[in-house]
Structure 1
Amino acid sequence: MQRSIQAGIAARIGKYSDAVEVTDSQGMRTLYVSGTPGLDAQTGHVPEDFAAQADLAWRNLEAILAAADMSVDDIVKLTQTLTRRDDVAAYRDIRERHLGAHRPASMLSFVSGLVWPQMLIELEAVAVR
């Protein structure tokens, strides 16, 4: 079984789901979360400040997980994309605040740009419950 999760973030960018949940025959649920930027789902505003964007990206990710009755503790794979290497230290502090002691498999990469030029971060995740 498959269902689309809508938390209002992806709708601000394009025509896709915030996440897709797949349930296997034993009831195990796997949630595939789309790239989630630090934008305000209500207004579409993207803060200029990296720390504000990163915190908002995490809050958006948490909202998507909550819409599927999951939390950051259910994340098994986390992909983090930043546009500036200088933001790594600030990002790690923000990530630690949101993840706590949880340590999912993880990848951090750098790109020259994201879908909107003002976006500095995007998070993608796979969660299982």
Structure 2
Amino acid sequence: MLTPLAPASIAKPFARYSHGVEVPAGHRLVACSGQLGIAADGTIPDDARAQGDLCFANIAAILAEAGMTLADIVRINAYVTDRAHMKGYMESRDAHVATPPPASTLVIVSGFTLPEFKVEIEVLAAAV
């Protein structure tokens, strides 16, 4: 079982994420490259929530190749192109991650390969 780490000596997380997650010995790890909000047919939704949902769908497909699910995510690194996209991304994240939530970092960046992209998400997952 994964163990969330929340030392009483530091401030609580700003949102729904864990400061740290302990992965017990004997677990396999899968690192997913950053996924963008693009569908298999090449379409890119306009809003950050829909792009985030596509990112997590892509991540779910990658994890399934290793016999894992979104519930096995222990770390998220997410990137948005504007503070205005934080809410949509966070709604998507909260809809797709398990409880307790994984460790998570959110960074605002100047852009991605195409200007239509608003969100990119990479994860680390662990399972027995």
- TM-score between both structures, scaled by the size of structure 1: 0.72
* 1:38 matches 2:34: no
Please tell me the residue identity of whatever aligns with 2:85: D
**Counterpart residue number, 2:97:** 99
| Cα separation, 2, equivalents of 1:102 and 1:126 | 15
With a CA cutoff of 8 Å and minimum separation of 6, indicate the structure with the bigger relative contact order.
2
| Cα separation, 1, equivalents of 2:99 and 2:28 | 23
Instruction: Provide the secondary structure at the position in 1 that maps to 2:56.
Output: helix
Deviation >4 Å, runs of 4+: none
Q: What is the deviation of 1:27?
A: 6.2
Unaligned runs of 5+ in 2: 1-24
Q: What is the deviation of 1:84?
A: 1.2
- TM-score between both structures, scaled by the size of structure 2: 0.73
CA contact (8 A) 1:80 1:124 kept: yes
Candidates 69, 72, 84, aligned match of 2:67: 69
Q: What is the deviation of 1:100?
A: 3.9
CA contact (8 A) 2:47 2:88 kept: no
Listed as ranges, the matches of 1:1-129 within 5 Å are 28-41=27-40, 43-129=41-127
What value does the CA root-mean-square deviation take over the aligned residues? 1.6
Please tell me the residue identity of whatever aligns with 1:70: M
Instruction: Provide the secondary structure at the position in 1 that maps to 2:67.
Output: coil
Aligned residues: 103
% identity of equivalent residues: 38
